[in-house]
Chain A
Amino acid sequence: MNQLFKMAFRDLGRNRRRTFFSALAVGVGLMLLILMASVINGEMGGAIESAIRLQSGHIQVRAASYDENKNSLKWEDLVENPDQIASQIAALPQVAAATPRLYASGFLATGNESAGVSIYGIDPASAANDPYRVGLLKGSFLTADDSSGLLIGQPIAARLHLNVGDNVSLSVNTANGNVEEQTFTVRGIYSTGTYGFDNATVLLPLAKAQAITQTQNHASTIFVLLKDTSATDSVVAALKSSNGLKVLTWRDLNPLVLQWESLAQSYIGLFYMIILAITASVIINTLIMSVYERTREIGILSAVGMRGSRILGLFLTESSLLAVGGVIFGVILGLLAVYLFNIHGFYIGNMGLSGILVSDTIRAKPILNDFINLSIATFIVTLLSGLYPAITASRLEPVAALRAEK
Chain B
Amino acid sequence: MEVVKVENVTRAYQVGKVETQALRGVSLSIENGEFTALVGPSGSGKTTLLQMIGCLDQPTSGHVIINGKDVTSLNRNQRADMRRGTIGFIFQFFALIPTLTAYENVEMPLLLNGHSAKERHDRVMELLKAVDLEERANNRPDQLSGGQQQRVAVARALSIKPSMILADEPTANLDTTNGQQVMEIMQKLNKETGVTFIFATHDPRVIKYAKRVVTLRDGLIVENNGNSVKA
Contacts and interface: CB of A to CB of B under 8 A. Distances in A.
A7 interface: yes
Contacts of B83: 303-305
Contact of B97 (A7, A399, A406): A7
B111 A303 contact: no
Contacts of A301: 97, 108
B99 A304 contact: no
B95 interface: yes
A196 interface: no
A234 to B, nearest CB: 64
B84 interface: yes
Contacts of A6: 104
Contact of A303 (B54, B76, B81, B98): B54
A7 B95 contact: no
Nearest to B166: A303
B100 A7 contact: yes
Given A3-B111, A305-B83, A305-B112, A399 B56 contact: yes
Contacts of B98: 14, 297
A14 to B, nearest CB: 6
B170 interface: no
Contacts of B113: 305
Most buried by B among A14, A300, A397: A300
B93 A305 contact: no
B80 interface: yes
A132 B51 CA distance: 86
A402 interface: yes
B152 to A, nearest CB: 12
Contacts of B89: 303-304
B125 to A, nearest CB: 17
A278 interface: no
Interface size class of A (residues with CB under 8 A): 20 to 34
Given A11-B99, A303-B89, A304-B89, A399 B51 contact: yes
Contacts of B109: 304-305
Nearest to A401: B56
Contacts of B46: none
B95 A308 contact: no
A397 B55 CA distance: 11
A404 to B, nearest CB: 11
Nearest to A406: B93
Given A402-B56, A402-B91, A7 B99 contact: yes
B2 to A, nearest CB: 22
User: Which 10 pairs from chain A and chain B are nearest by CB?
Assistant: A305-B84, A10-B99, A305-B83, A399-B57, A300-B95, A398-B56, A307-B80, A304-B109, A303-B89, A399-B56
28 contacts: A3-B107, A3-B108, A3-B111, A7-B97, A7-B100, A10-B100, A11-B99, A13-B99, A14-B99, A296-B95, A297-B98, A300-B91, A303-B89, A304-B112, A305-B80, A305-B81, A305-B85, A305-B113, A306-B80, A306-B112, A307-B76, A307-B77, A308-B77, A309-B77, A310-B112, A399-B51, A402-B56, A402-B95
Given A7-B99, A310-B112, 12 more contacts: A3-B107, A6-B104, A10-B100, A11-B99, A13-B99, A14-B99, A301-B108, A303-B54, A304-B83, A305-B82, A307-B76, A399-B51
